[in-house]
Amino acid sequence: MIIAISVPKGRSIVEFIVLAVFFCAIGIQMGFAEKNMNEEDFQISIDAQRVVFTTPPIFRDGEWFVPLEHFAKQLDLKVEYPEGTKMAVLCGGVASELCVPLEFRDDEKGAVEIGGMVYARPAHIAEPFSFEIYEVSANSLVVVQPAHLAPEFTLPDLEGTLKHLKDFRGKKTLLYVWGSW
């Protein structure tokens, strides 16, 4: 059944404009363009504790960069700058003998020096030391220490397909265990 309602043309145009303005305003509130990303918008938590940066992170080329030394300290990592080189070396983590170099350059794998401060992508600092990083939103990351992760295991689903716990990391997962004993 179709119902036709007669609305004066002038009123429908005004309603359309009001709706268009409303949806544009909602769109601006829900997300923000790269040029509008503010340091206050970016949040990182490590094991459910929010990291407060003394020097704010920066948004550059579509990626967030955090102050290297401050973030490394939050992860209990040491930062060294070998003399005569353009790199930083991170040491520590689960295997305290592990050291990872970060060269100062603008590509994906390095650190960047901006205004006398060294910045790096959070994943390049945390992942080599077995920290798990989950992107909650475009401006929010969660970092989990390896000691706080559930141990890895594999179980079959109802169809007999093997499922690995690591495939569900970063997702809300309900594990229902049933036994017939």
- Taking only the tens place, the pLDDT of each residue in 16-57 is 555 555 454 444 443 334 444 555 678 898 888 899 888 899
State the pLDDT at residue 48: 83
Q: Where are the domains of the chain?
A: 37-148
How would you classify residue 81: left for phi > 0, otherwise alpha for psi between -120 and 50, otherwise beta?
beta
Whole-model pTM: value is 0.63
Is the pLDDT at 172 greater than 60? The verdict is: yes
> Encoding tokens for residue 122?
């959070």
Burial class (CB in 10 A: 0-12, 13-18, 19+), 70: middle
Q: Can you say how many angstroms the Cα of residue 33 is from the centroid of all Cα atoms in its chain?
A: 17
Is the pLDDT at 164 greater than 60? The verdict is: yes
Q: Can you say how many angstroms the Cα of residue 34 is from the centroid of all Cα atoms in its chain?
A: 15
* DSSP code of residue 152: P
State the pLDDT at residue 1: 45
Question: Which pLDDT band holds residue 14 (cuts at 50, 70, 90)?
Answer: low
Average pLDDT over residues 99-120: 80
Average pLDDT over residues 73-85: 89
- C-alpha span between 154 and 149 (Å, rounded): 15
Task: Determine the length of the chain.
Answer: 181
Planar angle of CA 126, 131, 136, nearest 5 degrees: 85
